[in-house]
Amino acid sequence: MRLRLILSSACLAGLFVFVTGAEMAAWATPLNVKPEEAFKQAFPQVPAESITPTDIKGLYEVVSGMRIFYYYQEKDYIFRGEILQKDGKSLTAERHGELAAKAAKSLPLEKAVKIGDGKKVVIEITDPDCPFCRTASAYLAKRTDLTRYVFFAALAHPAAINKIHYILGAENRKQAYEEMMSGKEIPQPAPVAAEPIKSLAGEHLAWAKKIGIQGTPTFFINGRMVVGADTKKLDQLLKD
């Protein structure tokens, strides 16, 4: 399988200094040392949950929290970037999706807005002011075989927090969700959100960031992540 590695020479989170020539030759960890130990010796300030070989000889994938980067043991280099197949598919993005899907299993579903009682479970991270979120929501609303657990993260539309407060504070959250996702405005006079509701909205956002959500909508179905209003992919996963 032919792969391309898209690399960045920028340092990772400002922690790493790259050196070359005689200095690097002196610092590089011997290859007879296990990569886990070599990485720990070279970068003791960086926690690593896993270090695994890639398809590129000598290059290792490093998982640190929700971050993925690459370690070249022979020179003690760290690379940021993506590994791409010749068809443009990002193996790095795919791996990140696996990590996020695993992390999503820890989300407290009892604090989400529950919609439906079907056998197929969908975890949804959404934003009521996001047009792509509304498109995906309209698609899912047509199905009767789903149980949806909805969390909110107004990443690109901070003003949507008022609609999120309205949904979370409503007596009928499902109805309030459907109203906001259909483009309706908050009924006037707008209710004042209680502190517990504001706190819950803040928790939703924090959970989304913790599992590495960078955009909405994002869905988790059968341990797989779908980013965006990709209804074909949603349909495929829901058929499995």
How do strand 146-152 and strand 120-126 relate by DSSP bridges? parallel
Residue 13: strand, helix, or coil: coil
Q: Which of 55, 62, 65 is nearest to 80 (CA)?
A: 62
Domain ranges of the chain: 3-89, 104-239
Say if residue 16's pLDDT is above 50. no
25-61: pLDDT as tens digits? 344 555 689 999 999 999 999 999 999 999 999 999 9
Say if residue 14's pLDDT is above 60. no
Q: Within the chain, how many helices (H) and strands (E) appear?
A: 8, 10
Say if residue 69's pLDDT is above 50. yes
Say if residue 7's pLDDT is above 50. no
User: For residues 96 and 11, which has the higher predicted lDDT (pLDDT)?
Assistant: 96
As a whole number, mean pLDDT of residues 104-129 equals: 97
pLDDT at 166: 98
Euclidean distance between CA atoms 187 and 163, whole angstroms: 10
Give the up-direction half-sphere exposure of residue 176: CA atoms within 13 A in the CB hemisphere: 19
Euclidean distance between CA atoms 81 and 42, whole angstroms: 20
Q: Radius of gyration of the chain from Cα atoms?
A: 22
Average pLDDT, the chain: 89
pTM: 0.81
As a whole number, mean pLDDT of residues 66-73 equals: 96
pLDDT at 32: 80
Say if residue 211's pLDDT is above 90. yes
pLDDT-derived band of residue 71, with 50, 70 and 90 as boundaries? very high
Separation of CA 5 from chain center: 21
pLDDT-derived band of residue 190, with 50, 70 and 90 as boundaries? confident
133-171: pLDDT as tens digits? 999 999 999 999 999 999 999 999 999 999 999 999 999
pLDDT at 191: 85
Euclidean distance between CA atoms 132 and 230, whole angstroms: 9
Contact present, 82 and 92 (Cβ < 8 Å): yes
Give the up-direction half-sphere exposure of residue 72: CA atoms within 13 A in the CB hemisphere: 12
| The token pair that represents 213 in the structure block | 């959500």
Q: Which helix (H) or strand (E) holds 99?
A: helix 91-104
pLDDT at 120: 97
Say if residue 4's pLDDT is above 80. no
Euclidean distance between CA atoms 170 and 186, whole angstroms: 11
pLDDT at 30: 59
CATH placement of domain 104-239: 3.40.30.10
Euclidean distance between CA atoms 128 and 105, whole angstroms: 23
